A and B are shown apart, each in its own frame.
Chain A
Amino acid sequence: MSKRYGSTVALASLDLEIERGEVFGLLGPNGSGKTTFIRLLSGYLLPTDGRLEICGCDAVEQSLEARRRIGYVPEAAPVYGYMRVREFLAFMARLRGLGERAVREAVDRVIAALALEPVADRPTRTLSRGFRQRTAIAQALVHDPELLILDEPANGLDPRQIIEIRALIRGLAGRHTVLMSSHVLGEVARTADRVGILLDGRLRGVRAMADTPDLEEWFLSLA
């Protein structure tokens, strides 16, 4: 698929298949098209041409069905500041079509999974960056999606929080397919099963991390 804005090509003829249950890392410098790709997958943008299929659903023709299968955490980890954490998660669960009983269960489940108990009844505007990021991930997981999309999940976090988020993402592998983008080599190397390198809107290569002993060297050879 491709994405163009007028004459500007943001993504050119990207051809990629992500396996069910894997953690796929998308690596590239700022402005390489990572966020465009992530936004295409999330349904926030639509491809200019080509075809995008999410868990068997065409992202254009079956847009709502495709979106039901996705959990998405934008780079800024947005939350509604006037809502409490529990309220925000319940709103996102209802928005994804969960019934009232399922909402309560799902909210309790993600609060426990992301260790949000200490802040569950606090307004989201008062959260630290780490708790805010976890809340954003919790909203993406609240409806138990097949595909979890994380745009720069370690951005702005301190070392301890980065380690926690990394462990969390690894823990999700298998049950969920995870696509994460990052411009930090080490972050992708430690978290992903496979990695794709995106440069100037083009996917330059895809490799399994097990076959890539030196990610830095491979990246430099492509850049």
Chain B
Amino acid sequence: MRMLGVLLRKELLATFGSPIGYTVAAVFLLVLGYTFSLTLFATKVANLIYILHQMYVLTILLVPALTMRAFAEERRNDTLELLLTAPVGEIWIVVAKFLAVYGLVLAMYCGAFVYVGVLETYGTPDWGPIGSGYLALICHAALIVAIGLLMSSLTENQVVAAALTLGASLMLWFADSVAYLLPAPVDSVVLNLSLIGHFRPMVTGSVFVSDIGYFVSGTLLALFLTTRRLAER
């Protein structure tokens, strides 16, 4: 665990010391503020569901910019050799990188919590869907960050890593659309891979263990594959 602390400190220094993190956070909050204002003035309803969906989309679009450098940059700068030849298990390197980027995404979500405050001040929002919506986002972000790390571990080119992450996330997002075109029983397998299919119930207030299980198992699988990739010598 001490090694995790050492590595996490280094990753936080890299994540919060880079302009990429601040730029992504600024874009995220700016777009959300813009959408929130428009939605509130247009509908006059204390509803966060559009904002939660917007955060879902922005997470898919912006997280690749945060994860692309995780391993790709280390590989390109040869610093990965320093990490992998130190007496530390690959799992801790992966977990530290995951926690650093995930921490930044959660900090961005916290910034967006101000909209909940606005709704509470001027209206009477339904706290149930807001809570489950945030839970959905927290699970969703974990999966996208883990996919981003996996893609970053496959290449030394950051742009390729970002493109692969975006591609993989979009494919998961639209899996349900593709599923209807496929024969049984493949259709139900692909349908269950759908990102939005597991996100939508939670964001509207229905929390199922199967949906949480999807995000958790997907995250763990991606982190496991990233670790295996690093252990390939």
Residues of A within 8 A of B (CB): 39, 42-46, 64-65, 67-68, 70, 72, 74-76, 78-83, 91-92, 94-97, 139
Query: Is there an interface contact between A74 and B13, defined as CB atoms closer than 8 Å?
Result: no
From the candidates A42, A68, A80, name the one contacting B81 in the complex (CB within 8 A).
A42
| Complexed CA–CA distance, A75 and B77 (Å) | 11
Known contacts A82-B17, A94-B6, A97-B87, then 7 further A-B pairs from the complex at CB < 8 Å, ordered by chain A residue: A42-B81, A43-B84, A68-B87, A74-B78, A74-B81, A74-B82, A78-B81
| Complexed CA–CA distance, A22 and B4 (Å) | 35
Interface membership of B95, Cβ < 8 A:
no
A-B CB contacts (within 8 Å), total count: 64
Which residues of A sit under 8 angstroms from B81, Cβ to Cβ? 39, 42, 44, 72, 74, 78
Which residues of A sit under 8 angstroms from B14, Cβ to Cβ? 80, 82
- Nearest to A47 among chain B residues (CB) is B233
Per DSSP, chain B at the interface is: helix
| 14 residue pairs A–B, Cβ–Cβ below 8 Å | A43-B84, A44-B85, A44-B233, A64-B89, A65-B87, A72-B81, A74-B81, A80-B79, A82-B14, A82-B18, A91-B6, A95-B6, A95-B87, A139-B82
| Complexed CA–CA distance, A81 and B84 (Å) | 18
| Complexed CA–CA distance, A45 and B230 (Å) | 11
- Nearest to A71 among chain B residues (CB) is B85
Which residues of B sit under 8 angstroms from A94, Cβ to Cβ? 6
Which residues of A sit under 8 angstroms from B9, Cβ to Cβ? 91
- Nearest to A64 among chain B residues (CB) is B87
- Nearest to B3 among chain A residues (CB) is A95
Query: Is there an interface contact between A96 and B78, defined as CB atoms closer than 8 Å?
Result: no
Interface membership of B86, Cβ < 8 A:
yes
From the candidates B18, B77, B86, name the one contacting A95 in the complex (CB within 8 A).
B86
Which residues of B sit under 8 angstroms from A97, Cβ to Cβ? 3, 87
Interface membership of B88, Cβ < 8 A:
yes
Beyond A46-B233, A95-B3, is A82–B85 a contact (Cβ under 8 Å)?
Answer: no
Interface membership of B229, Cβ < 8 A:
no
Which residues of B sit under 8 angstroms from A65, Cβ to Cβ? 87
Query: Is there an interface contact between A67 and B233, defined as CB atoms closer than 8 Å?
Result: no
Query: Is there an interface contact between A78 and B82, defined as CB atoms closer than 8 Å?
Result: yes
| Complexed CA–CA distance, A82 and B86 (Å) | 20
